[in-house]
Structure 1
């Protein structure tokens, strides 16, 4: 008999590789304890289940990615769990091992029906639910309908559902989820127990992402996770998707998840650069601020992102100033900078910066030239940061003190004429008259009420506004006549009388003083109809 060659055990087929699951699906919460940021809702559900006060319809609302659909599935598991021994009842802690729990988690339970209202909007789709709800559950305790994005149902579909929703069979529960609760009819809202799922705080998300990164065996910098959490804007799903991308980006780079890489991936403005830019704005360093914006733009940062980062910085400083405390998600050096600015900047200045930057952000978002618009917005903010505070001006005027003169914006060069700044506003108007600027001088005599005057700066009262073209003409004339730039602005306070008003008041005072003289009074009595007049020179001074 021939010998057979022993070849050993035949090779076994390699186990099929498990398909990759994105983090948002892999770490979908399977218990209420794993549902982050929604403690108040979980507590209410727990009390309702323990007291056997379970509503027949639930409405879950909130922004994307906060756990609406996950919560609906958890409620379905909680209501249908039978425990490992098959004898359990509804519980806030479903076992996860019984057949109903496993079937619901895998999306194959015959009595838990999920429907996307975005693709099933009509009456016929709702009619199928109504007809099927009459029949008892096949194997579960409750037949549960989960309708996602319920606001997409048509008006007729909502109307068809109302009667069944108000008086459903005892074995049926409805779970609705929506991101736009304002589009759900009030008649439906009144028939549901409503839960508003909150945005998840950035700190909570960062902690959660740290656990996920550890479970995935990936090193991650705390600042990188904080950036991911901020970009998620309260959405766990969005944050996990960003973290998924960051991990892939880190693998390609050969390292862990690093803050610089995340910032580059998201196209975020560097926080150090933002602090430097805000410092340049507050220091009124226009060339430096423009150069800083261009550097960010050259690195690929969106101009709108720069404006948004400046807004966040101003908001952060204001929060510190009102005693809101430090944001733990911020780097230590950023918290220190905010505290320093909060001690130096006034509330009016912070509010003014916020309004100017907010307007700039809106302009950049719709501008045909975004980077140029961002530069102009920052220049506007720089100009506003150097203006005196109207409230401070009013207080100083009330106390009899005039504001100190601000330094000239641009010192004259040797080639420019010497500084001929008049000592008073009246002298300035006379100078304009002498230089054949009679029309401009006349407008200023008649309409300008001065709040403060100093060489290089005039603050006019906004209670009697001066036309913009008059201010423009005045700035140009002063530049030529005095050899320096002048800062002209309006303040919402009452200023001094106009030159005409002041001269008329002076004439009236002289007339009153003359009438008080006994000789003049006797003359006026002796000659009825006689009037007091000023010399021609006095008349010419205010005509």
Structure 2
């Protein structure tokens, strides 16, 4: 929330005397009051986006477990100073019916107005950015031992506490460790890491978070209603985005936005807000990203120049591109349900762009733009740096996805090796007697995802068979003919074929498959065919059924088909208790396919 109390009017001449001071308040006409001050939260209920902190404080006050020191941290404009003053009011709350620390501040208490104006004698505020020395802290410590004048507690609010010197922090430690019962400390900082841990350990810490864009947009819309100002919601959303979660920044920008429509009865539109903020049209930035990802280089360069001519800052354009790439990554990872805070049209466009891309590609694009953003910020010519970054993005978009590149490198059969005596123009087929070539078989790591569809992708039937091996079934027959029983058994039980395109093959190893199965098979195929094979065992691929599973399925299908034969059905009815013991296949089938099947029925 913003750091400065939701007050919409100043106390008048009839206001009560300030507690602790017998001086009447003098009404002062302050003229126009900026929105950041006018709509400063006046109660804990007015704080937006800090529900967790308010709930914790409410429970602590109700239970009487009030800490002696609080540390409030967060970025600028989220409500640290405002919260500190609200806590000070809650600690010293006193009304006609309540005389105890109280979080409900809707009914103004005896001390509320003075504390809200930083004019209460028992609530001291100090800006550590301008008073950093140990002498300043000693002034506070000297007064801590004295009882409050009119309030219940003496409250010390130290803003930007991280600016205190080391000696000042050391002077504060002892009092923080054992403070008087009537003293409370509230610290605020934007740099929590600069606060010594010895101080942090003595405080109850609250991290005030940035306000969500939609919540901040709703807040701005409510204030526009109170101000009778007309600003389109899309424009308010742009303000909330530019404020980066800071309510104070958002209200300061809203002040500027409202006057954009002072000479017209029409509502202030998003285009006017965009011009005011100096932002490039995000819809056109999305068009720019689309040109880049589709490798439309000329269109991309022209769009970037047009955005720059329209007043777009190359840094802002680069940051928008980076945000859109992040949005594409979320869409790819989560799907259309990703919470992006974008319009329906923009979301539809992002979904369409993310469709053909992989997460590996998007990660590559993110890294390019992240590095490019730093280049644009540091370059003497920001537009030229933005163009070079865009060209790198276009070049990357034309490359295969990282996972596909890895698969291509793993699966492409290497060229046949040549002995030193081979001439450069030697024929691809080796003559007998050439030195034996090395065997290559690659096992893909689990992190590489398959790019092939489940099941086996056979070789192109229009191409001639490769040394008699045109299909995976041919490979099984070769294993049977070569009588390598151990390898044949492993292949039949553990190989789930994915693709078979000689001289390469990809398969998914079944559970308990030998880790060197791909190497063994590649070595045997080299011996039997005289050619080097690239055998890829990919644990993440979705292969088909193993040869053993296929045989078992076919046998069961034949059995079920046989049980439906009218003659067999009649025979089983004539002989109660009879069972089908075996199926004898016609002689045309091989022994492998004609293995007997027996079942028993003990009914």
Q: TM-score, normalised by structure 2?
A: 0.63
**1:263 equivalent in alignment to 2:274:** yes
Q: Residue 385 of structure 1 corresponds to which residue in structure 2?
A: 397
Q: Which of 39, 45, 51 is the aligned partner of 1:33?
A: 45
Q: What is the alpha-carbon distance in structure 1 between the residues aligned to residue 175 and residue 403 of structure 2?
A: 63
Change in 2 beyond 3 A, CA 1:382/1:142: same
CA distance in 2, matches of 1:169, 1:394: 68
Counterpart position of 1:55: 67
Aligned to 1:67: 79
Cross-structure match for 2:461: none
Write out per-residue CA displacement over residues 226-264 of structure 1, whole angstroms, 9 at most, x where no aligned residue.
111111111111111111111122225653231111111
Q: Deviations over 1:4-29 (max 9, x none)?
A: xxxxxxxxxxx986511111111111
Does structure 2 retain, via aligned residues, the 8 Å contact 1:327–1:335? Answer: no
Distance change in 2, residues 1:425/1:355 (3 Å): farther
What is aligned with 1:202? Answer: 213
Where does residue 418 of structure 1 map in the other structure? Answer: none
Deviation, structure 1 residue 127: 0.8
Tell me if the contact between 2:67 and 2:204 (Cα under 8 Å) persists in the aligned partners. Answer: yes
Residues 208-240 of structure 1, C-alpha deviations (whole Å, 9 max, x = no match): 111111111111211111111111111111111
Structure-2 separation of matches of 1:286 and 1:328: 28
The reply on whether 1:119 has 2:130 as its aligned counterpart is yes
Quote the residue 2:143 is aligned against.
Answer: 132
Structure 1 Cα separation of the partners of residues 409 and 64 of structure 2: 71
Equivalence for 2:31: 19
Partners of 1:310 and 1:95 lie apart in 2 by 45
CA contact (8 A) 1:86 1:98 kept: no
Match of 1:345 in 2: 357
Residue 355 of structure 2 aligns to a residue whose secondary structure is helix
Residue 94 of structure 1 corresponds to 105
Runs of 4+ in 1 over 4 A off after TM superposition: 15-18, 396-402
Alpha carbons of structure 1 residues 115 and 223: separation in structure 2 relative to 1, 3 Å: same
Q: Do residues 301 (structure 1) and 321 (structure 2) align?
A: no
Secondary structure of 1:322's partner? helix
Matching residue within 222, 227, 234 for 2:245: 234
Residues 290, 353 of structure 2: 8 Å contact kept:
no
1:425 and 1:96, CA in 2 relative to 1: closer, same or farther beyond 3 A?
farther
Which residue of structure 2 lines up, in the alignment, with residue 374 of structure 1? Answer: 386
CA distance in 1, matches of 2:30, 2:142: 40
Q: Map 1:251-290 onto structure 2 (within 5 A).
A: 251-252=262-263, 255-290=266-301
1:520-539 map, 5 Å = none
User: How many residues are aligned here?
Assistant: 398
2:272 aligned with 1:224: no
Give the corresponding residue for 1:157. 168
Per the alignment, residue 437 of structure 1 pairs with none
Q: Tell me the secondary structure at the aligned position of residue 147 of structure 1.
A: strand
CA–CA distance in structure 2, aligned partners of residues 401 and 262 of structure 1: 59
Q: Structure 1 residue 199: deviation in Å?
A: 1.0
SS at match of 2:111: helix
In the TM superposition, residue 67 of structure 1 has moved relative to its aligned partner by 0.5
Which residue in the other structure is 2:537 paired with? Answer: none
Following the alignment from structure 1 to structure 2, what is the Cα–Cα distance between the partners of residues 326 and 186? 38
Tell me what 2:182 maps to. Answer: 171
- Give the SS at the match of 1:174: strand
State whether residues 70 and 185 of structure 2, in contact with CA within 8 Å, keep that contact through their aligned partners in structure 1: yes
Q: 1:364 aligns to what?
A: 376
CA contact (8 A) 1:62 1:196 kept: yes
In structure 2, how many angstroms separate the alpha carbons of the residues matched to 1:252 and 1:70? 35
Deviation at 1:91, TM superposition (A): 1.1
2:34, 2:252 within 8 Å by CA — same for their partners in 1?
yes
CA distance in 2, matches of 1:86, 1:241: 38
What's the C-alpha RMSD, in Å, of the aligned pairs? 2.7
CA offsets 1:306-352 (integer angstroms, 9 cap, x no match): 11111111111111111163446322211110111222221122111
Out of 322-331 and 167-176, give the one that drifted further.
322-331
Deviations 1:346-384 (A, max 9, x none): 112211111111111111110011111111111111111
* Cross-structure match for 2:329: 318
CA deviation string 1:43-71 (max 9, x = no partner): 11011101101000101011111100010
C-alpha separation in 1, matches of 2:109 and 2:197: 38
Structure 1: 5+ residue runs without aligned partners?
1-14, 403-423, 427-432, 435-495, 497-508, 514-543
Gap runs ≥5 in structure 2? 1-26, 418-423, 426-503, 505-525, 531-603
- Aligned partners of 2:340 and 2:410: how far apart in 1? 43
In 2: Cα distance, 1:425 partner to 1:381 partner: 36
| Deviation for aligned residue 1:394 | 3.5
**C-alpha distance in structure 2 between counterparts of 1:326 and 1:351, whole Å:** 17
User: Contact conserved, 1:115 with 1:146, CA < 8 A, in 2?
Assistant: yes
Cα shift at 1:81: 0.8
Instruction: Choose from 23, 43, 51 the match for 2:55.
Output: 43
Conserved 8 A contact 2:280-2:310: no
- Per the normalisation by structure 1, the TM-score is 0.69
SS at match of 1:344: coil
Asked if 1 retains the 8 angstrom alpha-carbon contact of 2:93 and 2:100, the reply is: yes
CA distance in 1, matches of 2:416, 2:300: 34
The answer as to whether partners of 2:70 and 2:205 remain within 8 angstroms in 1 is yes
| Structure (1/2) with the larger helix percentage | 1
Task: Provide the rounded CA distance (Å) in 2 between the counterparts of 1:291 and 1:170.
Answer: 69
